[in-house]
Amino acid sequence: MTMGDEHMQVSYSTAESRYRRVVLADDHRVVAQGIEHLLEDRFDSIELVCSGEELVEAVRRDPPDVVVADISMPGLTGIQALRRMREEGFEMPVVFLTMHDESSVAAEAIRAGARGYVLKSAAGEELVRALAGVMGGHTYVTPTLAMDAITNAGRQQYVLTDKQLRILEYVARGLRSKQIAYELGVSVRTIESHKYAIMQELGVHGTLELVRKAEHEGLIRH
């Protein structure tokens, strides 16, 4: 995914434009009501839902101009709900308003099709700017996350299991297969099999190349 400068804006006019309908998805009712109050002058209709499933149903019933959603919700997460909506052909902009301040999560949201990503810790006016931006065809990411999120969103995605990611971290720390096998309580053959599968997935042929590629792709936590 490549995102040019024309898509990345961090400052928009907050001049009021009025739209027909927004769906707000947040399982914290007080938060949702606060957002509703912030946006009531900008939308004719505001529907509050408190789960990913309810969000999908609300969109199916009456597609809104835009969705504002939390990520962590009961049942489907906001990102899972977004993927389902996109699979069903709904293309309205989705802005995530969340506590998750990790650029990797923002990148995942962008890859899933989100048009905005705003932290709940930011002032309400930032959400207004984000909505103005996405309704104008742009993408908005909270400035403190923007660069890392876009960089990560452009990276190739690799399918590794949790165990393989743990093995990768041990390899990066310099542990040999026998030591990793002891740490994880499995056989050396199992570790070697996983290590080979990881190398195949990343397209590398040696341990040093594996560690360098994994670090570059953000697969190793520091």
Q: Where is 163: in which H helix or E strand?
A: helix 162-172
Q: Is residue 70 a part of any domain in this protein?
A: yes
**Count of domains in the chain?**
2
Contact by Cβ (8 Å): 170, 198? no
If we measure between CA atoms, which residue out of 205, 217, 116 comes closest to residue 160? Answer: 217
Residue 114 has what pLDDT?
93
Residue 150 has what pLDDT?
58
Range of the domain at 210: 162-216
- For 41-59, letters b (16+ CB in 10 Å) and e give ebbeebbbbbbbbbbbebb
36 and 94 share a domain? yes
If we measure between CA atoms, which residue out of 75, 72, 117, 77 comes closest to residue 94? Answer: 117
What pTM does this model have? 0.62
Residue type for 176, please? R
Q: Where is 119: in which H helix or E strand?
A: strand 116-119
80 and 124 share a domain? yes
44: DSSP letter: E
Q: Is residue 1 a part of any domain in this protein?
A: no
Q: How far apart are CA 19 and CA 177, in angstroms?
A: 59
70 and 175 share a domain? no
32 and 62 share a domain? yes
Q: Is residue 91 a part of any domain in this protein?
A: yes
CATH code (residue 46): 3.40.50.2300
67 and 93 share a domain? yes
Q: Is residue 14 a part of any domain in this protein?
A: no
Residue 154 has what pLDDT?
53
Q: Is residue 115 a part of any domain in this protein?
A: yes
Q: How far apart are CA 164 and CA 191, in angstroms?
A: 9
Give per-10-residue mean pLDDT for the chain (222 aa): 38 60 94 91 94 96 96 90 93 93 82 90 85 90 72 61 88 93 93 91 87 81 55
110 and 134 share a domain? yes
